[in-house]
Structure 1
Amino acid sequence: MARLRRLLFLLRAWCAWLNGDAAYATWCRHLREHHPGEPLPSRAEFYRAQLERRAGEIRRCC
């Protein structure tokens, strides 16, 4: 039973990593530890900022 619980935990963590939930949780943890006075962004604000950051990158050589 413990092995099944561990497997389900790992599967859930992997799915969270795939869809970006782990990134949001990591960012919130970082803000709480290093910037305690700043408000936490909502998930929508976080994902919007991530998309804008990625869209602004140049991904070609020329």
Structure 2
Amino acid sequence: AMLDDDGASAHGGILIVDVETREEAENFVNADPFSAAGLFESVRITRWRKAFFEYKRLVDL
């Protein structure tokens, strides 16, 4: 859950899904029980590029 700065109030969340198309992402969200029950005020679907973090390379600098 996304929290306010005080950590006491939740007001959102994030789902990360590995799908090929926006339609698949929309279908995933629509099949979610919380979404189907109308518990989400809004849904935003954003495409991301995969990235990899090499910790060893960073500490060897």
TM-score surpassing 0.5?
A: no
Q: TM-score, normalised by structure 1?
A: 0.33
Bigger helix fraction: 1
Return the TM-score normalized by structure 2.
Answer: 0.34
Higher strand proportion, which one? 2
